[in-house]
Amino acid sequence: MQPATMKVLKIDFEKCTGCRLCELVCAVHHDGVSNPARSRIRVVKWESEGLYIPMACQQCQDAPCMQGCPVGAITHNWEQNRVEVDYGLCIGCRTCVAVCPFGAMHFNTIDRKVIKCDLCNGDPQCVRFCEVKAVTFVDAGDESLARQRTAARRLHTAEGKAAALL
């Protein structure tokens, strides 16, 4: 059955100020503690260039973590639009950590288990706290619209310039 909406985390890294509040609130929400090592979202930085990029699980449709899991502990929850770990089955082998192309599956050394974004059951705290809207929660079908609009405008401008050259 097709769900009414399919919401995903949309990351607009150009807007990220690098404050890492998303990491803090993620850990506080899930584990009740402050510790970015427990965060499911992480801001990757190149400080010498002023570049900050929040990285989180893409909730892939054909998820490598799911494919790689030897005990079938990772499944797709279509209702929540997320890839999730069944900790009753998980053996802690970290194969999922190794195969995730985004580095978005983490191993939490304190609890000795893998952790990943669960979209906070529909109310992502990183989105709630990001005032600059570098992380938003949007329908997957709409994710490309803003980018498309920007590109269209760019095309139009280029067209104008090209016309002026003729």
**Closest approach of Cβ 17 to other proteins, in Å?**
4
Residues 122-151 that bind other proteins (CB under 8 A): 125, 128-129, 131-132
**Closest approach of Cβ 25 to other proteins, in Å?**
6
3-class DSSP state of 139: strand
Longest dimension (CA), the chain: 68
**Closest approach of Cβ 146 to other proteins, in Å?**
14
Task: Please say which residue, 23 or 64, places its beta carbon nearer to other proteins.
Answer: 23
Residues 52-81 that bind other proteins (CB under 8 A): 52
3-class DSSP state of 18: coil
**Closest approach of Cβ 34 to other proteins, in Å?**
4
Q: Does 48 bind other proteins (CB under 8 A)?
A: yes
Strand intervals (E) in 38-163: 42-46, 51-55, 74-77, 82-85, 106-108, 113-115, 135-139
Query: Residue 156, exposed/middle/buried by CB under 10 A (0-12, 13-18, 19+)?
Result: exposed
Residues contacting other proteins: total by CB under 8 A: 33
Task: Supply φ then ψ for residue 19, to 5 degrees.
Answer: -75, -20
What secondary structure letter does DSSP report for 85?
E
User: Which among 107, 104, 105, 70 has a CA at the least distance from the CA of 89?
Assistant: 70
Task: Please say which residue, 25 or 74, places its beta carbon nearer to other proteins.
Answer: 25
Taking CB under 8 A as the binding criterion, the range among 33-41, 57-65, 66-74, 136-144 that sits at the site for other proteins is 33-41
Which of 1, 2, 4, 47 binds other proteins (CB under 8 A)? It is 47
Range 86-93 contact pairs with CB under 8 angstroms and sequence separation of 24 or more:
87/113, 90/114
Give the residues lining the site for other proteins (CB under 8 A).
14-21, 24-25, 28-29, 31-38, 45, 47-50, 52, 109-110, 125, 128-129, 131-132
